[in-house]
Structure 1
Amino acid sequence: MAPFSGILVAMVTPFADDESVSYERTKNLIDYLLAAKPAGLFILGTNGEAYTMTEDEKYDFAKYVIDYVAGRAKIIVGTGLNSTRETIAFSQRIATLHPDALSLVAPSFVAPSQAELVAHYQAVADAVPVPCVLYNMPGKTGINIEPASLKVLSQHPNIIGIKDSSGDWHNFDGYLKNRNSDDFTVIMGSDGRILESLQHGGNAAIAGTGNLLVANVVKLYDAFQAGDLEAAKRYQDNIQPLRTVLHEATTPVSLKAAVTASGVNVGPARRPALMPAPDSQLAKDIAKTVADYKQQGVI
């Protein structure tokens, strides 16, 4: 059985108004998310703004989340950095907190060859005592983890899965076909494709929209598992209005604004990303989306 299944929320990192990490806001967000019983939380990823945080901030945040969740859900922590050496060092540091897995995004800017990428991941997986989940996001990193590379990497005993945010079915289906065994988890990272990915044979989804729509996304997975495709399709369709406003601004500006508008204050995104002005069209679109969700009972 795959080590991860179901819905994991790609959790935002709540900041105070001065952009420092807010643990009070983090506690409130975790309480909101865990009430819907997702399979887990994925922290310090793209929606978590890890790229704006120092390593000490990331360590302290991961420690707080792991301690506060206390086994109530699985925790995957993003530790991928741009060099193999620094990724190993930071991953070893986070491993002392005993998360359920580490997420390793491909090095960005460097644009390594596939052979270099395979060697990078093997070196990190060799060096840490915590299972590793690869994170494919070529739109941000500039490098795609090819299915042929996944065929090699899935044979490593400490590499247990891959999150695919490429939006490319050739990749996703190639991962399913080339994984070493059915115990290797293939996770959808594109929220608009969760249901279809499950129909393709995927095991799980890591959903940024789950910060607001956690109950809806969990119900989507549960409906699919129960064979109720009509309900699953309805829950999938519910995600689209939020995705529309997410695409109107820099990640995760609209997402954070929507969650805060719903009543769970997660603070601003870190600059250079700018939150919408109160009288802007984006702010109005977000407010309407959240109000519609509340009226429909989605949140």
Structure 2
Amino acid sequence: MDGIAPPLVTPFDEDGDVDHERLRELVAWVEDRGVDFIAPCGSNSEAELMTAAERAAVVETVADAASVPVVAGTGSPGLKETLQATESAASVGADAALVVTPFYYSFDQSELEAYFTEVADASPIPIYLYSVPAYTDTVIEPETVGRIATHPNVAGMKDSQADIAEFVRTRRRVEDAAFDLLIGSASVLSQALDAGGTGGINALANLYPEHLADVYETHRDDPAAARALNARLVELNTAVTATYGIPGLKWAMRYRGAPAGHSRTPHSPPSDDARDHLEALVDDLRT
């Protein structure tokens, strides 16, 4: 997949249940603002706070509502559950699967390579590797990515390290493969595009999809202008990721008028000070 996608937030109602009607509205909201594809059940979707049945239902709703491709998060710590989720996502119309590195236990690079190869062998749809060491404490090394990229059912990777040097190292090792290399941090989207990236799956695309789409489109003809556009987004992106997390992202979305719904326990709402800060940052981008 090329272009920009949100790791789509999951709207929950005040009782903590998935709000499927609002989820459909959110799909239309981000599509109307220029996303190229949608990635439900990722980290910002609170996927790990949902049951397997809930995740499957979310993917089905998104796939049914979307007119753009859907790359569904299906990874779990164990192979069996990952394969079950991937097959389920394929059966309801997902175009590809985003498979996070196995987590909880530690695995070496040879074990990661074997795992992703086995997933790719069995998956009925193409898979994307997902490296997010902030949550999993696991990194897929560039050399490992290069070997996995030769598999015909491995379509690419979402790299959420926000480390451009490592991104470049990975890009060099997949140059000869049909392999989409997507950045996970909106703060360095333009730099990743400079380095040969094909797009981004970015939390900020839930809140300001049109601005990230603008960075992506502008980069084709004017990389310097794209970097300037991207620079305006860094403070807000930091606020809705590292500083205030998913509750802050959802609050900012609601403030902007997006049908984000609520977060699920044990997340808690942002403080008054956090809301004031987020409000000021969102307002700044309106000027």
TM-score category (smaller protein): over 0.9
Distance, in Å, in 2 between the alignment partners of 1:155 and 1:209 is 31
Q: Which runs of 5+ in 1 are unaligned?
A: none
Residue 98 (structure 1) shift: 2.7
Query: Are positions 1:12 and 2:9 aligned together?
Result: yes
Q: Give the 3 Å change call, closer, same or farther, for CA 238–182 of structure 1 in structure 2.
A: farther
Q: In structure 2, what is the equivalent of residue 33 of structure 1? A: 30
Q: In structure 1, what is the equivalent of residue 273 of structure 2? A: 281
Post-superposition Cα deviations, 1:113-154, rounded to whole Å, max 9, x if no partner, equal 111111111111111110000001111111100111112101
Distance, in Å, in 2 between the alignment partners of 1:165 and 1:57 is 25
Distance, in Å, in 2 between the alignment partners of 1:169 and 1:216 is 21
Higher helix share: 2
Normalised by the size of structure 2, how large is the TM-score? 0.95
Q: In structure 2, what is the equivalent of residue 173 of structure 1? A: 168
1:29-68 → structure 2 map (5 Å cutoff): 29-68=26-65
Q: Which amino acid aligns with 1:32?
A: W
Q: Which runs of 5+ in 2 are unaligned?
A: none
The size of the alignment, in residue pairs, is 286
Distance, in Å, in 2 between the alignment partners of 1:178 and 1:166 is 17
Residue 180 (structure 1) shift: 6.0
Q: Which of 197, 205, 212 is the matching residue for 1:202?
A: 197
Query: Are positions 1:82 and 2:77 aligned together?
Result: yes
Distance, in Å, in 2 between the alignment partners of 1:282 and 1:269 is 16
1:113-132 → structure 2 map (5 Å cutoff): 113-132=108-127
- The share of aligned pairs that are identical, in percent, is 28
Query: Are positions 1:21 and 2:18 aligned together?
Result: yes
Residue 238 (structure 1) shift: 2.4
Q: Which amino acid aligns with 1:177?
A: R
Q: Which of 229, 239, 253 is the matching residue for 1:259?
A: 253
Distance, in Å, in 2 between the alignment partners of 1:244 and 1:91 is 31
Q: Which amino acid aligns with 1:64?
A: T
Residue 182 (structure 1) shift: 4.6
Normalised by the size of structure 1, how large is the TM-score? 0.92
- RMSD of aligned alpha carbons: 1.4
Distance, in Å, in 1 between the alignment partners of 2:278 and 2:260 is 15
Q: In structure 2, what is the equivalent of residue 228 of structure 1? A: 222
